[in-house]
Amino acid sequence: DAVAKGKKGVILVDIILKPGEPFGDRTTRVDVDAYFFDVKMDPVSKLRGHGETYVPYASMDGRIQKSIDTALADLDAKIKAQVRVR
């Protein structure tokens, strides 16, 4: 679809969520992967943002949004440091 519309590149975003377990590891982890493709739809780069938050015992909040926000901030910082827009 992007090629048909004449786009010069595409970014595919994949969100990987691992919520904290009620018994054992109570850390909620989120990874946000951004895959960059060129005009020929060949993959040229991948960046990952990571966020995690410990969830205390008996908490009613899984702290998923906080982990997502941290992962997006991490990815945003990497994009600003490494991606050049022409």
* Per-10-residue mean pLDDT, the chain, length 86: 84 92 83 93 94 86 91 95 78
pLDDT, position 4: 83
**What is the 3-class SS of the chain, one letter each residue?**
CCCCCCCCCEEEEEEEEECCCCCCCCEEEEEEEEEEECCCCCEEEEEEEEEEEECCCCCCCCCHHHHHHHHHHHHHHHHHHHCCCC
pLDDT, position 84: 75
pLDDT, position 8: 84
Note if the pTM is more than 0.85.
no
